[in-house]
Structure 1
């Protein structure tokens, strides 16, 4: 009977340890991870002519001028998230060379969101002022089938021109430096992505070290 008691106690102890490890790995306790991003304090950051620098963990950076005259709410949402550190440590989880690279998902699989969604600022959604074309280096918001579902995920066009995206997605900025970094990321080895039914999942994580926001006059 004593041995049974000790055995049961050991089993419970092992289960408790395994539970703690699982909670830690999922960012629920102890380990500040991707799940904590929804708890970040997102503030409105007033900025007139924003420039953002995307610094990659593997080296290299991309610099974008954001264009609120085309998509003001989209730009403000991206600036607020970047300023709060929301994107730091996330990845480009979907890469299709000669088309685009997509990132900014806290779940890393294309299903993650931030604390809010923004109105789709593109022509098909009745927002006619956004005439920015999806050419190489243009940054735009990813979304699902609902026009107002954009949240935190974004993509950067790698193809020279992708007219099929024009008027259907909220383009909000353009690359001004770091084209070689964009090309390098787009050439990342990829494997099958069953969620998208395409070969687009990086074999190794492509990590965003940090996104920093500047006023154009200060960069």
Structure 2
């Protein structure tokens, strides 16, 4: 299925139902490309939503969530990291906010238009600046402007937002299918 914009879509098949995401390669091209490749390679199949915070986010994409040790969930990835694709100016961050984030190591570009961390956003989970890998989160119930400038949004839930709110910690991602 394609959207009116002809952006690629992804269906995250979970034990609780399907979540359909529109992906935005024009806003975060490397991030979208990475997500699509991992999905097509079956990387996400059988991983769990290892972090679920009510009224905030569901987080998944860690291959270590497949093992029997819940203590390492949230620490795994694909074996590489890549840079953030964020334009804080397009998000309306103040010069002071940008300066503070740059002091923490964030590096930005004006070559992209970033999307805000709002309800239904699909964004990269990371451990700090330029540490993106495979983990992602979906914002479930309240906009999260405090995440702007730190996490690249690369998609938006277009169907199944109700499913994101039913996800429990440990629920499996059965498969992610991408339609380009």
TM-score (norm 2): 0.79
Once the two structures are TM-superposed, the CA of residue 159 in structure 1 deviates from its matched residue by 3.0
Q: Deviations over 1:4-34 (max 9, x none)?
A: xxxxxxxxxxxxxxxxxxxxxxxxxxxxxxx
**In 2, distance between residues paired with 1:49 and 1:83?**
17
Q: Higher helix share goes to which structure? A: 1
2:9 counterpart of 1:51: yes
Q: Which has the larger radius of gyration?
A: 1
Q: Deviations over 1:33-58 (max 9, x none)?
A: xxxxxxxxxxxxxxx731100001x2
Name which structure has the greater RCO, CA cutoff 8 Å, separation 6+: 2
TM-score (norm 1): 0.65
Unmatched segments (≥5 aa) in structure 1: 1-47, 189-201
Match of 2:148 in 1: 166
Q: After the TM superposition, which residues 5-154 of structure 1 pair with which residues of structure 2 at under 5 Å, given as runs?
A: 49-56=7-14, 58-108=15-65, 109-123=73-87, 124-128=106-110, 129-145=112-128, 147-154=129-136
8 Å CA contact retained: 2:47, 2:61: yes
Unmatched segments (≥5 aa) in structure 2: 1-5, 66-72, 88-105
4+ residue segments displaced more than 6 Å: none
Helix, strand or coil: the match of 2:19? strand
Q: Deviations over 1:147-190 (max 9, x none)?
A: 111000000011321000111111100000011111111xx3xx
**For the aligned residues, what is the CA RMSD?**
1.4
Aligned residues: 149
8 Å CA contact retained: 2:114, 2:152: no
Once the two structures are TM-superposed, the CA of residue 115 in structure 1 deviates from its matched residue by 3.1
8 Å CA contact retained: 1:130, 1:171: no
8 Å CA contact retained: 2:28, 2:114: no
